[in-house]
Chains A and B, each alone.
Chain A
Amino acid sequence: MPLQNRLKEYRARHGLNQGQMGQLVGVSRQTISLIERGDYNPSVTLALRIAAVFGVQVEDIFSLTGEEEP
């Protein structure tokens, strides 16, 4: 099932580029780019790490298509 994400929005809000974001969560810049484009769905572990960087819940960043966003 397709996953929507607001990673780019949160990343821009915190002034992080893709490389910096990748370093914070332990993945490559390419992976951050793939997630933002919707070409890759992160693992649960990675999604939790991403949410922890911004101090929000996973559901604030990632949601299933068709679900209402907060």
Chain B
Amino acid sequence: MKKHVYLKFAGTLIFFALVGAAIGYGSGALLSDLGVAKIYDLRRWLAQLASQAAFWVLAADLALLAVGFLFCLRGKNLGARALEKETDRLYEKAEEALCRAMTLANISVVLGMAAFGVACCDADVLLRSLPLFLLAEGLGMVLQHLTVRRTQALNPEKKGSVFEARFVRQWYDSCDEAQREQIGWAAFKSFRVMQSLFAWAFVPLALLGCYGLVGPLVFLVWGGLWMVQIVSYSVYARKAEKGQMK
């Protein structure tokens, strides 16, 4: 390997060490002025703020779902015209609308669960948020189901139902070589994004942890998730080398 690669790596390490030291010194000076009691007050205030916001995030989640249903309806209408006229452009537009509907449905499901998880930290907010959460998750699944059905109407070879546990496997098995290549490319891109995110998330979390604004459990969850991603990737990569891609 060329020397400049090592020099660049060392330079990057030193630069970020200096930046980290500066941020740590600055935040330490700021928080030491506040005192330990005020740090815990700040922590409690942030937790209450997050819990209160969770209810409104769930409400916004329903608005997101409404947009998703509109895209699903657009995909249905375009799909019907595509099947009638057999025009490539109409198929592409229908599939694009259905893709947006599915993306919004997936975002909504995860956002709803995250917001409800935060709401669980406050009993009052939890009780108010529960009906919204159940409604959002239920509608999210309905939107996913309708989007899959519309996609299958355009592409009859596609198999699977979102109400089955093996849906992702069934869908993948019904994909042809080009679609599997697309899935592989998207999955690899997603893996790279998560790798960067896990690494970069450590810095702010560590700073927050130093001042008691996040607890040890956060690091266990962060580390556990990253570990699962890395180990599962290694296991499946090894299987692929042995020709065991099933």
Contacts and interface: CB of A to CB of B under 8 A. Distances in A.
Interface stretch (B11-19, B33-41, B174-182): B174-182
Nearest to A20: B86
Interface residues of A, number: 16
Chain B CB within 10 A, most for which of A26, A29, A33, A42: A29
B88 A33 contact: yes
B86 A30 contact: no
Given A28-B176, A33-B92, 15 more contacts: A19-B86, A27-B177, A28-B155, A28-B179, A29-B91, A29-B155, A30-B155, A30-B179, A31-B176, A31-B178, A31-B179, A34-B178, A40-B178, A42-B178, A46-B177
A65 interface: no
Contacts of A34: 178
Contacts of A29: 91, 155
Nearest to B154: A29
Contacts of B88: 18, 33
A26 B157 CA distance: 10
Nearest to B175: A28
A1 B13 CA distance: 38
Contacts of A31: 176-179
Contact of B177 (A19, A33, A42): A42
A40 B181 contact: yes
B45 to A, nearest CB: 51
A42 B177 CA distance: 8
B91 to A, nearest CB: 7
A33 B176 contact: no
26 contacts: A18-B86, A18-B88, A18-B91, A19-B86, A27-B176, A27-B177, A27-B178, A28-B155, A28-B157, A28-B176, A28-B178, A30-B91, A30-B95, A30-B155, A30-B178, A30-B179, A31-B176, A31-B177, A31-B178, A33-B91, A34-B178, A35-B178, A40-B181, A42-B177, A42-B178, A46-B177
A57 interface: no
Interface in B146-177: 155, 157, 175-177
Interface string B177-204: 1110100000000000000000000000
Nearest to B83: A19
A28 B95 CA distance: 13
A31 B88 CA distance: 12
B76 to A, nearest CB: 18
Contacts of A17: 86
Contacts of B179: 28, 30-31
A26 B174 CA distance: 11
A31 B174 CA distance: 13
